[in-house]
Structure 1
Amino acid sequence: MMTQPTAFETRLEDNAAKLVALLEELLSDGPLADEIQRPPRLMAAMRHGVLNGGKRLRPFLVIESAALFSGNPQAALRIGAALECVHCYSLVHDDLPAMDDDDVRRGKPTVHIAFDEATAILAGDSLLTLAFDIVAAPETDLSDRQKTELVLCLARAAGIGGMAGGQMFDLAAEQQAPDEQGIVTLQAMKTGALIRFACEAGAIVAGATADDRARLRLFGEKIGLAFQLADDLLDLTADPETMGKATGKDAARGKGTLPALHGQAWTEAKLTALIAEAANILGVYGDRAEILLETARFIANRRH
């Protein structure tokens, strides 16, 4: 007998459906103003890398963080779409033979398998560029100051000192396993930075105060670590069919993770502590923050 989805799960699915509809529109073959033409094969590869399922957690965090401060929901959706383009570009490139060399993503062939390596590289490049197009576009109903802040925050989260730099450290970890602090730094950059951005971006969209922005940023850092701990735990314990991708690869490559270092019991206790910290950070907002806290619990307790 199938269980009914919770109110949180329904909200997550509804927001994901809205996001996918927007992404389909943004990734259509018709060129925009100042675009000369959109190559059909490139667009097909981009759609393959983006419209392939997934929980859309990062955009959900943007939307719900903005909602906490009564921000413009349509603007939040567009910033969520921009963030999802950055996230999906990173997956397309991470899956390449020169990086993690994966053939399956979300239960489907990765972009370089479904198309070819050169097309996958261009699809990733185009998704990253499109993300900043979405933020800056006139259809995103925000002030120029808000757009500038979002561009800067997203660039810092995605670039040298964030996700891309984290991937560089991740590649180096195959040659020499980092110590515990090195693992924490790597994961804060590769995974945590975009989740941190998602939470802070919602506050920017809503024009929240500097204190509120800092609070949401800290919340994002806590749940970003929780996300990575849960992911690493699943890499040790879940099967590939459940995950929709290869598992056990970090251990096979000699990469250190906190669950591998400390064990499952420690990891589960750490996840519980992180959720308690996240709840404390958002305590000032009372019941208004319940959806964000549900998201934190969902991240920590996920099984795939």
Structure 2
Amino acid sequence: MKIKEYLAEQRAVVEEAMDAFMLAVEEPFTKHIEAMRYSLFAGGKRIRPILCLAAGNAIDDSPEMTEKLLSICVALECIHTYSLIHDDLPAMDDDHLRRGKPTNHILYGEAGAILAGDGLLTYAFDLLSKPDICTINATARLRIISLIAQAAGSIGMVGGQSLDMINENKEYPIETLQTIHRHKTGSLITCSVLTGAVGAGADEKQIEALQQYGDNIGLAFQIVDDLLDATSTTEQLGKEAGSDAERGKATYPAFYGIEKTRQLAQEAVERSTRALSGFDDKAEPLRALATYIYTRSH
């Protein structure tokens, strides 16, 4: 399939849903909601919501199912965006560019950025809790809320970010780096796949296979991020290149070198596609997405 065309089409679907579901700017919260919307609509590949749609459509590719999954997609993008806003703060990664634009705290101040992130995180669960917006049956919806809360929280993304911060400028084994990557980046990617599957009514065997797929593309995604930070320019990335090394972060290239790191990413992608062996052609977007994650340039 033509992955770039698929991504463009799905990104448009996701962004239309974001526009429909996101809070409108209104008094007296104008500045706060503007800050939330600034980062949410600042661009991006929308990989997590697209993975949610692709996984759900691997089970049921009807237009009705796609429509049902869109509230989950928007919630995932809200949570991902909140994490980027907070990652960019001076107390954390201290980045001034994100997607080629000033980071949230540069425009809205540190307090404004923190609150914008807080607003996006909580709004995600507000969306998922409303049966008139998230129309998936209540049992599946509760499981989806639990999956997202765990993936985004202290034993997932937040915990991984904490480990990353604690271990800056320290020497540690590859196992620690793998733990950081699995939680900081991989958990929400795997969750995006699983929530789409649960929303579409996947059985437990299918969910187990998609868990393996998600775990491996999550690993590949972060390994490629490490590679891009080490080998790309700021213009290509849309954020400061080489920032990992400047902050004393361990990366796969630091442990293995560039070529071995590329091999490890490719192996993770191959494992992810093998996990889909029991799925038919409806899973072709998932297979193409795995390859795209490995070959992307930003």
Bin for the TM-score computed over the shorter chain: over 0.9
- Write the mapping of 1:233-272 to structure 2, written as runs, cut at 5 A: 233-272=227-266
Displacement, 1:189? 0.3
User: Quick one: which of 14, 19, 36 aligns to 2:14?
Assistant: 19
The answer on whether the counterparts of 1:177 and 1:255 sit within 8 Å (CA) in structure 2 is no
In structure 2, C-alpha distance between the alignment counterparts of 1:215 and 1:59, rounded to whole Å: 19
The alignment status of 1:220 with 2:210, answered yes or no, reads no
Give the structure 1 partner of residue 129 of structure 2. 136
- Report which stretch shifted further, 269-278 or 140-149: 269-278
In structure 1, C-alpha distance between the alignment counterparts of 2:19 and 2:106, rounded to whole Å: 22
- Secondary structure of 2:278 counterpart: helix
Give the structure 1 partner of residue 283 of structure 2. 289
In structure 1, C-alpha distance between the alignment counterparts of 2:157 and 2:172, rounded to whole Å: 17
Give the structure 2 partner of residue 34 of structure 1. none
RMSD: 1.4
- Report which stretch shifted further, 221-230 or 114-123: 114-123
The answer on whether the counterparts of 2:25 and 2:33 sit within 8 Å (CA) in structure 1 is no
Give the structure 1 partner of residue 5 of structure 2. 10
Displacement, 1:149? 0.2
User: Quick one: which of 24, 41, 47 aligns to 1:29?
Assistant: 24
In structure 2, C-alpha distance between the alignment counterparts of 1:163 and 1:38, rounded to whole Å: 32
The answer on whether the counterparts of 1:200 and 1:214 sit within 8 Å (CA) in structure 2 is no
Give the structure 1 partner of residue 110 of structure 2. 117
Q: How many residues align?
A: 294
- Report which stretch shifted further, 155-164 or 17-26: 17-26
- Write the mapping of 1:160-171 to structure 2, written as runs, cut at 5 A: 160-171=154-165
- Report which stretch shifted further, 145-154 or 174-183: 174-183
Q: Which amino acid aligns with 2:179?
A: T
Give the structure 1 partner of residue 79 of structure 2. 86
- Write the mapping of 1:60-79 to structure 2, written as runs, cut at 5 A: 60-70=50-60, 72-79=65-72
In structure 2, do the counterparts of structure 1 residues 303 and 30 end up closer, same or farther at CA, with 3 Å as the change threshold? closer
TM-score by length of 1: 0.93
TM-score by length of 2: 0.95
> Where does structure 1 differ by over 4 angstroms across 4 or more consecutive aligned residues?
none
Q: Which amino acid aligns with 1:181?
A: E
Structure 1: 5+ residue runs without aligned partners?
Answer: 1-5, 32-36
- Secondary structure of 1:177 counterpart: coil
- Secondary structure of 2:42 counterpart: coil
In structure 2, C-alpha distance between the alignment counterparts of 1:190 and 1:301, rounded to whole Å: 21
Give the structure 2 partner of residue 202 of structure 1. 196
The alignment status of 1:55 with 2:45, answered yes or no, reads yes
Q: Which amino acid aligns with 1:23?
A: M
Give the structure 2 partner of residue 186 of structure 1. 180
